[in-house]
Structure formats: C-alpha cells, structure tokens
Amino acid sequence: MKNFSWRALLLWTLPILIVGFFLFQGSISTNTGNIGNNTASTRMTYGRFLDYLNTGKVASVELYENGRTAIVQAMDPEIDERLQRLRVDLPANSPELIAKLREANIKFDYHPVTNDGALWGLLGNLIFPIVLISALFFLFRRSNNMPGGPGQAMSFGKSRARFQMEAKTGVMFDDVAGIDEAKEELQEVVTFLKQPERFTAVGARIPKGVLLIGPPGTGKTLLAKAIAGEAGVPFFSISGSEFVEMFVGVGASRVRDLFKKAKENAPCLIFIDEIDAVGRQRGAGIGGGNDEREQTLNQLLTEMDGFEGNSGIIIIAATNRPDVLDSALMRPGRFDRQVMVDNPDIKGRLEILEVHSRNKKIAPEISLEAIARRTPGFSGADLANLLNEAAILTARRRKEAITMSEIDDAVDRVVAGMEGTPLVDGKSKRLIAYHEVGHAIVGTVVKDHDPVQKVTLIPRGQAQGLTWFTPNEEQGLISRSQLMARIAGAMGGRAAEEEIFGYDEVTTGAGGDLQQVTEMARQMVTRFGMSDLGPLSLEGQGGEVFLGGGLMSRAEYSEEVASRIDDQVRQIIEHSHNLARKIIRDNREVIDRLVDLLIERETIDGQEFRQIVAEYTEVPEKEQFAPQL
C-alpha cells in the first residue's frame, strides 16, 4: 500500500460524508410525520384555539403526528371573519379535545404517521457505508498502480534519481570546449567503463569518484552530460538537495535506495549535482542534536567506501564550494580525483565561441579571436549568453547576420546591464563626462595600467557612464606596480571632479570606486605583503562560512598592528589619489577637448582616445598580448 495520502483521502471522503449526512437527515424528516402540503404558516396558541372552539369559530380540525399537531380552519375576527388555516401545537395529554369537538359538532380528521421514511432510512444507512468503502478501495488501488499519484507518504525513502539505461543527453565530448585538461581526465573514466581490461591488466583499479570543482558556468554539468553520452552505461542523475527532507531518516533511506538500484545495474554512473547541499562539513554551527543532513552524509560516506563497497559504480559530483565539503568526503577512496574546471583562457574562449557560433549567422568580417581577446574572465556560460544576446539584438534590428556592433552591445549588456536613456541635463552630463575622462586619462598615462577600450556616457545598469579597460595579457599574477596603477585609475574620476569643479562639488559617483580601491589596498597590506609592514599574511582569503564558525575566533594580530594596517591602507590610497590629481592638472587642455568630444558623440573608442592624448603628452608604450592560438 505505497503512495498513500491522508490529504487525498480527506478530499475524497468529505463530499461523501456531506451527501450521507443530508440523506440521513432526509430520512429523519420523512419519518417525523407526513404533514405534506397541509402545513400552515400561521401558528395559534392552544389557549386561543380553545377560545375559538368555545365561541363556535372553528370550522374543521385535522390532527397530525399522533395528535401532537393540528391544522385548524377558523374564522378570524381581525380579518372580517374569513376562514384561515392555523397551526396549533397540542399538549401530549388532551383526551377531552375529541369530546369537545364532537359536542360542538365540528368536523375533524385524524392522519396517522406513514412508515414510508423507514425505507429511506434503511437505504441511507446502507448506501453511505457502501459508497465510503468503494471510495477507499478506489484510492488504494490508484495509489498502488500509480507511483506518481497523489499519495507520497510511503515513498519518502525512495530515491528520486533520474535513471537512463542509455543516457541520450545530446552532448558529446566534441561539444565541450575550452577545458581540455578536465576532458582528458574524464575521458579516462569513459575508457575505464568501456575497456576496463586495459587498466586491470597492469593492476590499476577504476576510480570510485570524480569531483568537478569550479566557478559557476564553467561547464561542470555539461561535462557530466558528455560523460553520460559517451559512456553508454546506465546513468543516474540527482541533485544534492533532493536527498534533504524535513523527516528524520528520509535522506539516508534515499541514499541506500539509490545505491541499491545502482548495484543492480552496475557498471554504471551516478551524477550528483551541487553536492555541497548534502556534503557540508559535519559538526559546523551552534548546538548539537540530530542533524538530518549529517545522517544523510554519513550514509553517503558508507555507501561510497564502506564495508561492502560499490564495485562498478563511479560517482561524479559537481560543486562550486569545495571549501565547505566534509574532509571525509574529499579523501582518496571516495573522490579519488578532483578535477578543476576553471574559467577558460583565450584559446579556450576561442574554442567555446566556435562551438556556440555553429548555429548562428555571423558576418564574415567578425573575428572570433578578437571577441575572445575582449572577454577575459568570461566563463563558458557567459560566452554562450554573449552570442545569444548578439543574435537577439540582430533579430531586433532586422539584420540578416550578426555584426561587430551587436557583439559590442552584447558585451556591454552582459558585463554592465541593459542600456539606459542617454542624459539630457547639460550640467550632470558634463560632470559625468569629466569623471569618465578622468578614469581614462589616468589609465592611459600610467604605464602599468591596462589600455582603455572605450569611454561612453550611455548609462548601463546603475552606472550613468562607463570606462572600459581591456587587459593586454592573461594575468595569472599581478605585480605591485599594476595594483598601484589600477588604484590610481580608479581614483581618476574623483580626482577629476575635485580639480575641475572643486572639493565642494564632488558627487557620490565615486562610491563604487572608493570601495574597490579600499579593498585592493587592504589586500595588498594584509594578504600580499606589499607594504611597509613587510611580507606578512595577516588575513585569510575568505571569512567563516558556517554559522557560529567565528564566535570563538579572534584576530591574529594586535590592536597596534591593526592600527598600522589602517595607516598603510590610507597611505597607498592617498599616494594614488595625489598621482591621479597631478595627472589631471598636467593634462587639463586635452581633458577639456576629450570632454567636449565625448558630450558630442557619447562614445569614444580607445584607439582614438590614445591618439588624441598622444598629441598633447607622451603616452607610454603598453605591451600588447599576442597569444599562441
């Protein structure tokens, strides 16, 4: 009797109970005496009835309900002595009434109680239980025959994993680009499943688990789909959150049921997406008690590498939070391989763009290499979204193929948001223009800063204007001079406001810039050892991730060192701020020209910007990145 639901039972039986109640009431009302159509709406007291009887105003009397009720035809003096039907409730013991009626020679009749209601009462008492039992029987049969029916109470412990004997995901390894190292690791897993003798002949054993680690959108789930499509073995897929329930023991039961089905279909693959939902570190948080998630994790650990083992089952899991996973889950023997799926480099981005451009009409002049160069830090999902946004803009503009204009707008939209309405207020527009040109001029003059790509006054997202910088190389490591240059460039907007309009006219537009430079300067001091404090790492890369994890922790340095950290951060920012103000003062003439040009056009390309600046001052030669594609 699986899939039983008390809620469904109530919904079915409530109407039956209501119908049965009215049937039962109908049978009672029938048996109480059949007055029928002879009822009277006006009542009269028994005393007044005797007065009418003594004065000869009663014409006829009809007795009902064993003499307890009478319908009397009497002449009412208040309505011109006309006959009126009146109802009288008689006392239980009134034997003298019949004698009085006979003495007054009044016509009367007696109507005995009919026994027709007994049949209805019997039918009502039989039909109601029969209908109720039939409904219950129908519900039980439906619950047994339909696993996905309304009842789920008895199936809580069953696994909700999607099972495919031969997974047809539509994704193969050829459809996955930009993560060649991860593909190579996982192709070995597929070979293990297809040709295990190649590895067992030299004593190698099949890995029990592969953990895919990487930021969101880098292709972890896509890789799992490719493995399912290539392997040709039974495939189970489930999310980590589907193990977690509010009922005690349900998660552990689902884990047992999943591995039981997997062992019946071995060799097979199990894919658990977002495993951090169930695999978080045990013992974290405040207080104790029975944690249902921990019980589920314990069962998962036992099934992956317990006493019985799980030969022939390979578990593939994905997460973007490896720092919160339990250490027992990460050890060899459970997840033997941890595959990093990171954001692609320029070569990987080019391969991803080639994959996603197969089904799109692209103009011949578009260079995918140029797009890959302009999108450092983009994940595979970002690049797919970029080309899709460009295709949508192309259709909206009624063009036949995607051009570079749509690519530029799509990049801006993905990074900064939707395009807003251009400014019309002259004063605000000029102030924002000086702010953005201040960023661009400092970034152009300072040697170690990234080159300017574009300056625009077109609002996007929450920004009223934007200055784009494009890194000229794939920067895995960043030098101190580059960080100082970025801080100076970020302070260029505030410096321009102060030099052009005065300190009293500075605006809130630099709020985001100040947050950015403060964070960069603090990391230089506390993490990277780039200050007068020396080569010390005083803070970790992130804060506590568990509730209560930092209650008992304390700062790893004294208050004196904390004060010195604040002084060093302030010195770095003030040095960069003064440098930015000096650059603004020294280049005021070219800044005014650039602002007038920007207000007129609303957008200036980076190449044109550098050419104009070069007419007034020396522009340092910035290294151009030429990767091997």
Q: Which residues of 458-482 are buried (b: 16+ CB within 10 A; e: fewer)?
A: bbbeebbbbbbbebbeeeeeeeeeb
Strands 603-605 and 466-469: unpaired
Angle of the 559-586 helix axis to the 511-526 helix axis, nearest 10: 130
User: Which run of H or E residues covers position 469?
Assistant: strand 466-469
Look up residue 11 and give its two tokens. Answer: 């919904």
Q: How many CA atoms lie within 13 A of 42 on its CB side?
A: 10
Who's near 468: CB < 8 A, 6+ residues apart?
412, 452, 453, 454, 455, 456, 606
Distance CA 135, CA 10 (A): 11
- Chain centre distance of CA 63: 75
Catalytic residues: 436
Q: How many CA atoms lie within 13 A of 379 on its CB side?
A: 12
Distance CA 532, CA 480 (A): 13
* Sheet of strand 235-239, all strands in order from the earlier edge strand to the far edge: 162-164, 235-239, 268-273, 313-319, 209-213, 337-340
User: Which run of H or E residues covers position 362?
Assistant: none
SS3 content of the chain, % helix, strand, coil (to 5): 50, 10, 35
Is residue 427 packed enough to be buried (19+ CB in 10 Å), middle (13-18) or exposed (0-12)?
exposed
Strands 82-89 and 42-43: parallel
Distance CA 337, CA 210 (A): 5
Distance CA 313, CA 255 (A): 14
Distance CA 607, CA 584 (A): 20
Alpha-carbon radius of gyration of the chain: 43
Q: Is the previous residue joined to 77 through a cis bond, with omega within 30 degrees of 0? A: no
